[in-house]
Amino acid sequence: MSKLYRLHGRAGSRIWKPLWCMRELGIVEQAEISDVPIKIGRTVEIFPGEDDKREYYVNNVNPNGRMPTLEDLEKGLTLFDSAAINIYLCKKHASELAPKDAAEDALCTQWAVWGAFEAEQDIVLLMFAQMMKDEARKKARTTELWDKLERPMNALNISLGKSGEYLLGDRFTVADLNAESVLDWGLRVPGYEDHIKFNYPLAHAWMTKIRARPHHDANQNA
């Protein structure tokens, strides 16, 4: 049977986000995975040593030169941002995870931008900082990054204090999925969860609840 979607990416990369979402929706079997080889150096290089393939990918699949990319083969739509992909899929499959009204829809966009703009980069840097060999520098860098993360973590914690169990209220939605997936980058950082638990207890409780979802773990091992 031909597949409905083609998902471009590399296991262990941001592809885990749409894969997690697809598992929640029960549509992961409808996706063909197209592997994107990478080489991690100072930046992430895609299709290392394969200039023609990289050029083709940038010009025809993802002009941003990143992963993941979703192609909806039925609709002829290509999307290059993982949060946008997830919101699109939840809406298309009329999932409980999709926004139900205009206000929820706007909040889903807001939290997609929050994840990408406010939180993700510094959490990824926190993960990379742990590879530093000089302990004093590692500690200083870690402290600096936690300071920068105070704003987005506080925004998350305060918002959960108002919305309740989840970001849009009493049910898990794609706003939670997109926001929580950003926090997952830090899970291998020593003391990460304790720091969040102590300083942003509502965010920690929310994160713990979401990580216990059956489809979350599978995704971590993608």
Question: Which spans of this chain sit near a second copy (rule: CB under 8 A)?
Answer: 58-59, 63-66, 72, 75, 77, 79-81, 83-85, 87-88, 91-92, 102-103, 105-107, 109-110, 112-114, 116-118, 120-121, 151-152, 154-159
Closest distance of CB 190 from a second copy, Å: 27
Closest distance of CB 150 from a second copy, Å: 9
Task: Indicate the angle between helix axes 201-211 and 135-163, nearest 10 degrees.
Answer: 90
Closest distance of CB 113 from a second copy, Å: 5
- Specify whether the CB–CB gap between 142 and 133 falls below 8 A: no
Closest distance of CB 187 from a second copy, Å: 21
Residue 74 vs 96, nearer CB to a second copy: 74
Residue 83 vs 145, nearer CB to a second copy: 83
Full DSSP string of 52-109? HHHHHHHHHT-TT--S-EEEETTTTEEE--HHHHHHHHHHHTT-TTS--SHHHHHHHH
Beta bridge mates, 187: none
Contacts of 179 (CB under 8 A, 6+ apart): 111, 114, 115, 119, 156, 167
Helix (H) or strand (E) holding 177: helix 174-183
Closest distance of CB 151 from a second copy, Å: 6
Residue 62 vs 142, nearer CB to a second copy: 62
Residue 86 vs 142, nearer CB to a second copy: 86
Residue 132 vs 155, nearer CB to a second copy: 155
